[in-house]
Amino acid sequence: MMKYLYLLSAVILVLFSDCKEKKNSFSAIVCGHLENPKSQNACLSGRQVILQNTSNADTVLLDSQNNFKVKIRINEPGYYNFRHEYQFVNIYLKPGDSISLSLTSEKFKGNLKFSGNGAEENNCLAGMVLFNEKIGACYEKLFRADEKRFIVMSDSLRSLQQNYLENLIKTHKVTDENFSNSEKAKLLYSSASLRLQYKCSYNTQPDNSEKLSDNFDTYLTALHLNDSNLLNLPEYTIFLAEYLRSTVEKESGMQDDLNIFKAKIQNITKVFRDKKVQEYLFYASFKEQMRECGIRGIEPMMKDFYTHCNDKKYTEEIKQTYDGYKKLEKGNTAPDFNLPDLTGKIYSLKDFKGKYIYMDVWATWCAPCRREIPFMDKLQKEFKNKNIVFISISIDKKKEDWENFVKTEKPQWLQLHSDSKVSTLTKDYRINFIPHFILIDKEGKIIDAWAPAPSQNIKEVLNKLEGGVKST
């Protein structure tokens, strides 16, 4: 549910042997040592806009001793991510900071310590991250509780977090009010998002015959829907997006993604007054819709986006993203691939010219993916010996997990594996979530790059294909 993206800062890479450098009021320095690195580079990026991808994150090079140093231009305080492979740590930087950190690639957060100018805030931040991880199990119980119990538990959780934060601020002698206020705001809006998520979950449970009480939404009086100064906090922008969606669903009762999206676009200017907040929500709504469903049905609303959103960084990214998805529209040539099966034999789309292709992109660790497997098995049996080939493509990072699955389960349709280090499959097809299904025609042209799942109405779609592909 939580879907995070990032706004990049302008970064200038400078490699030195230590962190001693004259302070600059428009820059900050991050340096340190990475023990047992998986590769010789890392990256530093901002986390101000949560729906932006990290493909443009700036590279931080490690020297022969696995030390690094990066100097960034910043005009105001903000949060950043330092990332190495699949591990990351949050950093708070303000103009003039020069911080040093030492960490190992195996346990990024567990042994993290900061020193230097700006270390106070970052040690506080690291302590809060560890604390939240320790109490993370509490969230599992929250959504199973009734309303009264949920309110007690969620309020207690927030109080616990606030007290711990106050203690960390005192312990590390943090004097930066912007940091302290930002951390408190993060707790406030995380708690508010939790309320919205609970409400959504409660209202969709068939066993809940009673409605939530009128007092459930009183927490909203303490919140600000139009504070553009908080747009640098993902916790705030997540809350705004969820509040918009919950407002639309409450008024219309709609569940269809496209209709909800249309209603969101129509209601942004009605619900929110601040221009920058409106622009962000237009950007975030279009970005999210394209990531989840492609551009099907949104073209008529692109005019609304450009009418209400004048922020150049938003408009340029939406245009670039939209143009990328355009390449996957019906009738365009499907991006080809060269992927191995269990024996190492390489397959490409060209091998199936003259046949329809129904592709499933999945992973063994993905529970929704595995729920589709019995439906896929039934589907391929019904269309056996017909003019169509069924392909499942695993994107498991650990290839042995996929190999063990195929050897154990022995699925009766083609199984391929895509290694993200050498294959561009997920990028070419703009796959952001799995399972993901694609339907391709006999000439290698796209029919639907966001095809229905086997558990949905794909059988009806296949039966209507030109050329008489009929199930038995």
CATH superfamily of 339-463: Glutaredoxin (3.40.30.10)
- What's phi and psi for 255, nearest 5 deg? -120, -20
pLDDT band at 211 (very low <50, low <70, confident <90, very high): confident
- Residue 65 has a pLDDT of 87
How much of the chain exceeds pLDDT 70, in percent?
A: 86
Q: Is 26 exposed, middle or buried (0-12, 13-18, 19+ CB in 10 A)?
A: exposed
Interval 341-358: pLDDT, tens: 999 999 999 999 999 999
Please compute the mean of the pLDDT values over residues 283-288 and round it to a whole number: 93
- Residue 43 has a pLDDT of 80
Reply yes or no on whether the pLDDT at 9 is more than 60: no
Reply yes or no on whether the pLDDT at 102 is more than 50: yes
Tell me 177's DSSP state: H
Alpha helices by DSSP H, 329-398: 367-382
Alpha helices by DSSP H, 68-207: 119-134, 138-142, 147-171, 177-203
Cα separation, 263 vs 105, whole angstroms: 45
Q: Is 109 helix (H, G, I), strand (E, B) or coil?
A: coil
- Residue 281 has a pLDDT of 96
86 C-beta neighbours (distance < 10 Å), count: 9
Domain ranges of the chain: 11-116, 135-253, 258-326, 339-463
Angle at 462 between CA 391 and CA 392, to 5 degrees: 10
445 C-beta neighbours (distance < 10 Å), count: 12
From residue 270, give the alpha-carbon distance in Å to each of 226, 250, 288, 456: 12, 15, 20, 35
Q: Which of 32-41, 45-54, 122-131 has the highest mean pLDDT?
A: 122-131
- Residue 209 has a pLDDT of 66
Which residue did the predictor score with more confidence, 252 or 188? 188
Residue 102: enclosing H or E segment and its boundaries? Answer: strand 98-104
Q: Which residues of 200-212 are buried (b: 16+ CB within 10 A; e: fewer)?
A: bebeeeeeeeeee
Reply yes or no on whether the pLDDT at 12 is more than 60: no
pLDDT band at 371 (very low <50, low <70, confident <90, very high): very high
pLDDT band at 241 (very low <50, low <70, confident <90, very high): very high
Interval 132-144: pLDDT, tens: 888 765 666 788 8
- Residue 447 has a pLDDT of 94
Evaluate whether 293 touches 258 at the Cβ level (below 8 Å): yes
Residue type, 203: N
Closest by Cα among 31, 50, 101, 46 to 76: 46
Residues pairing with 445 in the sheet = 333
Structure pTM? 0.77
251 C-beta neighbours (distance < 10 Å), count: 10
Reply yes or no on whether the pLDDT at 227 is more than 90: yes
pLDDT band at 203 (very low <50, low <70, confident <90, very high): confident
> For 8, what's the count of Cα atoms within 13 Å in the CB-facing half-sphere?
15
Evaluate whether 138 touches 157 at the Cβ level (below 8 Å): yes
Reply yes or no on whether the pLDDT at 223 is more than 80: yes
Reply yes or no on whether the pLDDT at 5 is more than 60: no
Cα separation, 240 vs 303, whole angstroms: 22
Q: Is 262 helix (H, G, I), strand (E, B) or coil?
A: helix
Reply yes or no on whether the pLDDT at 79 is more than 80: yes
All residues at 6 or more sequence positions from 36 whose CB lies less than 8 Å from its CB, including other chains = 104, 105, 106
Cα separation, 422 vs 252, whole angstroms: 45
Reply yes or no on whether the pLDDT at 53 is more than 90: no
Name the least confident of 109-113, 244-248, 380-384.
109-113
Q: Is 358 helix (H, G, I), strand (E, B) or coil?
A: strand
Reply yes or no on whether the pLDDT at 417 is more than 90: yes
Q: Say whether domain 11-116 belongs to CATH 3.30.70.20.
A: no
Residues pairing with 44 in the sheet = 58, 82
Positive or negative CA dihedral for 238, 241, 243, 245?
negative
Positive or negative CA dihedral for 401, 402, 405, 408?
negative
pLDDT band at 444 (very low <50, low <70, confident <90, very high): very high
- What's phi and psi for 103, nearest 5 deg? -155, 165
Reply yes or no on whether the pLDDT at 49 is more than 50: no
Reply yes or no on whether the pLDDT at 150 is more than 70: yes
Residue 88: enclosing H or E segment and its boundaries? Answer: strand 87-93
pLDDT band at 206 (very low <50, low <70, confident <90, very high): low
From residue 77, give the alpha-carbon distance in Å to each of 10, 125, 321: 14, 14, 29
- Residue 308 has a pLDDT of 94
Where do we find the tokens 């119990």?
149
All residues at 6 or more sequence positions from 93 whose CB lies less than 8 Å from its CB, including other chains = 28, 30, 72, 74, 77, 78, 79, 80, 99, 118
- Residue 204 has a pLDDT of 73
Q: What is the mean pLDDT of the chain?
A: 84
How much of the chain exceeds pLDDT 90, in percent?
A: 50
